[in-house]
Amino acid sequence: MDDTSRTYDVIVIGAGPVGENVADRTKAAGLSTVIVESELLGGECSYWACEPSKALLRPVLARADARRVPGLRKVVAGPLDVPAVLAHRDDIVFHWQDDDQVAWLNSVSVDIVRGHGRLDGPRQVVVTSSDGGTVRLIARHVVAVCTGTRAALPDLPGLDEVRVWTSREATSAAAVPGRLVVVGGGVVAVEMATAWRALGAEVTQLVRGEVLLPGREPFAGELVAEGLREAGVDVRFATSVTSVARQDGPDGEVRVTLADGEQLVADELLFAIGRAPRTDDLGLETIGLSPGDWLKADDTCRVGDVDDGWLYAVGDVNHRALLTHQGKYQARIAGAVIGARVNGEPLDETKWGAHVTTADSEAVPQVVFSDPEVAHVGVTAQEAERAGRRIQVVDNDFLSVAGAVQYAEDFRGKARMVVDLDRGTVVGVTFVGPGVAELLQSATVAVVGEVPVERLWHAVPPFPTISEVWLRLLEAYRG
């Protein structure tokens, strides 16, 4: 790449699903747009997170469901076809090639610059390619940072010398480790423990706290822990790692020392303890911000700590809701906002594609693809109480739901509905059990739409389906 400069209306740094959606919307608004990416177009979700993890988990959960159905249990009693599962994962991620994403961006006339992009003062981005060449990009109007996050790692003795797994290695590994230690109790830790145990690894999961999936209804973590243990995962709570070391070179055993002095030996060690923003080498210091910080953005994804309002932070990097679907939601809104502001149009919150990201604070849906699955949206009972809301908590254990019994002979799970008594609306829903992921959109519509509970009586669930749990929850609410 030769030293040169180019000018666009909008510069987007980061070509994951979020950046691609911002670029698509700004280009559709008539703004010249360029997107900068140092790795694969399509980003973390496409190659090292959502897509490959679900490709690994889908056969695991399908087999688990089949084992609960009379007539199928013996048929699926054997092990998974590991080479076929890994090959399917590789197909899902297009063998880590981004040709399709390049073709799509070309089809919507968004320019692509490959290399590491850094801010270099207001509205300026310098991109350095792998061969050392540079190009200076100048934005007439907006720079949108869509760089996402990376796996956080602890400050532990010996960690720098140990080739540990993060979420990237856990979703892209070419072979099943004989022994895997997973450190963490959140979504990534739970899902990867589920997947690799089912694929044949001996898995030990170390959780610093007392529960899995903190921040959700407590029963969700309890049921998932029970499922992991039944699958053969050694789940340990209140357990901390003090040091790690790899013996006999980069492919040797990993020794993990715990706070009580016990040592565990594994073939691979996965840290899944959280995420950190990819802003440490973004040039934030050139515009008066601190490298490595999250970028605080308002409901239109504009960064408020920068003069003249030219900087936007969209997706995980703004720390509003670290989920691909929420990031794409933000991107659609941010793209519309940028187009409207540049073109001098009023921001209309009532039209299709409203100009504020209200769902980030009111109704964030998420599925944990564990066995059992966890699906939740809105607030938990504890969160509602902390906010001073007057609520009624309604629970159902699925035993009275005919569709659940049809779905699985031993359907163990629980549903919870949190009702705001002053508003008469549902503000939070959690489902735990086989196949409950597909229930979540109905709950999301109820929460986002602020549907009065009395109206939900007239949303009749079909019989016999798992969705009949809504009727049981409403009956319990009425008492």
Structure-token pair, residue 336: 């519309």
* Residue 157 CB-density burial (10 A; 0-12 exposed, 13-18 middle, 19+ buried): exposed
Residue 353 has a pLDDT of 63
Phi, psi (degrees; rounded to nearest 5) at 416: -135, 135
Spell out the residues 6+ positions from residue 232 whose beta carbon is closer than 8 angstroms to its own.
197, 202, 203
Percentage of the chain beyond pLDDT 90 is 92
C-beta separation of 10 from 123 below 8 A = no
Tell me where in the chain the CATH 3.50.50.60 domain(s) lie.
4-42+98-150+277-359, 159-273
Q: In whole angstroms, give the CA distance from residue 216 to residue 374.
A: 9
Residue 351 has a pLDDT of 67
C-beta separation of 270 from 180 below 8 A = yes
Residue 1 has a pLDDT of 41
Read off the pLDDT of residues 245-299 as tens digits, 9 standing for 90 and up: 998 877 899 999 999 999 999 999 999 999 999 999 999 999 999 999 999 999 9
Residue 407 has a pLDDT of 93
Question: Looking at residues 160-171, what average pLDDT do you find?
Answer: 95
Question: Looking at residues 170-174, what average pLDDT do you find?
Answer: 98
**What top-level class would CATH report for the domain 4-42+98-150+277-359?**
alpha beta
Decide which of 192 and 3 is more confident. Answer: 192
Q: What is the CATH number that goes with domain 159-273?
A: 3.50.50.60
* Residue 462 CB-density burial (10 A; 0-12 exposed, 13-18 middle, 19+ buried): exposed
Q: In whole angstroms, give the CA distance from residue 453 to residue 425.
A: 5
Report pTM. Answer: 0.95
Q: What own/partner pairs with CB < 8 Å and gap ≥ 24 does 441-445 have? A: 441/365, 442/467, 442/470, 443/365, 443/375, 443/377, 443/378, 444/363, 444/365, 444/377
Spell out the residues 6+ positions from residue 252 whose beta carbon is closer than 8 angstroms to its own.
246
Read off the pLDDT of residues 115-158 as tens digits, 9 standing for 90 and up: 999 999 999 999 999 899 999 999 999 999 999 999 999 999 88
Decide which of 8 and 354 is more confident. Answer: 8
Question: Looking at residues 31-56, what average pLDDT do you find?
Answer: 98
**pLDDT over 60 at 427, yes or no:** yes
Residue 265 has a pLDDT of 97
Q: If DSSP states are collapsed to H, E and C, what string results for the chain?
A: CCCEEEEEEEEEECCCHHHHHHHHHHHHCCCCEEEEECCCCCHHHHHHCHHHHHHHHHHHHHHHHHCCCCCCCCCCCCCCCHHHHHHHHHHHCHHHCCHHHHHHHHHCCCEEEECEEEECCCCEEEEECCCCCEEEEEEEEEEEECCCEEECCCCCCCHHHCCCECHHHHHHCCCCCCEEEEECCCHHHHHHHHHHHHCCCEEEEECCCCCCCCCCCHHHHHHHHHHHHHHCCEEECCCCEEEEEECCCCCCCEEEEECCCCEEEECEEEECCCEEECCCCCCHHHHCCCCCCCCCECCCCEECCCHHHCEEECCHHHCCCCCHHHHHHHHHHHHHHHHHHHCCCCCCCCCCCCCCCCHHHHCCCEEECCCCEEEEEECCHHHHHHCCCCEEEEEECCCCCHHHHHHCCCCCCEEEEEEECCCCEEEEEEEEECCHHHHHHHHHHHHHCCCEHHHHCCCCCCCCCHHHHHHHHHHHHHC
Percentage of the chain beyond pLDDT 70 is 99
**What top-level class would CATH report for the domain 372-478?**
alpha beta
Structure-token pair, residue 324: 């691909």
C-beta separation of 23 from 154 below 8 A = no
Question: Looking at residues 42-54, what average pLDDT do you find?
Answer: 97
What is the pLDDT of the chain when averaged over all its residues?
95
Spell out the residues 6+ positions from residue 271 whose beta carbon is closer than 8 angstroms to its own.
151, 152, 153, 154, 164, 165, 166, 183, 184
Question: Looking at residues 287-316, what average pLDDT do you find?
Answer: 97
Read off the pLDDT of residues 332-386 as tens digits, 9 standing for 90 and up: 999 999 999 999 988 877 766 678 888 888 799 999 999 999 999 999 999 999 9
Question: Looking at residues 379-398, what average pLDDT do you find?
Answer: 97
C-beta separation of 417 from 447 below 8 A = no
C-beta separation of 6 from 123 below 8 A = no
**Which amino acid is present at 301?**
C
Q: In whole angstroms, give the CA distance from residue 369 to residue 191.
A: 6
CA distances from 447 to 95, 127, 132, 239, 429 (A): 39, 43, 50, 37, 8
**pLDDT over 70 at 405, yes or no:** yes
Judging by DSSP bridges, how do beta strands 254-258 and 241-246 pair with one another? antiparallel
Structure-token pair, residue 313: 């932070």
Residue 53 has a pLDDT of 98
Residue 178 has a pLDDT of 98
Residue 160 has a pLDDT of 86
CA distances from 421 to 386, 393, 449, 453, 473 (A): 15, 10, 16, 10, 15
Tell me where in the chain the CATH 3.30.390.30 domain(s) lie.
372-478
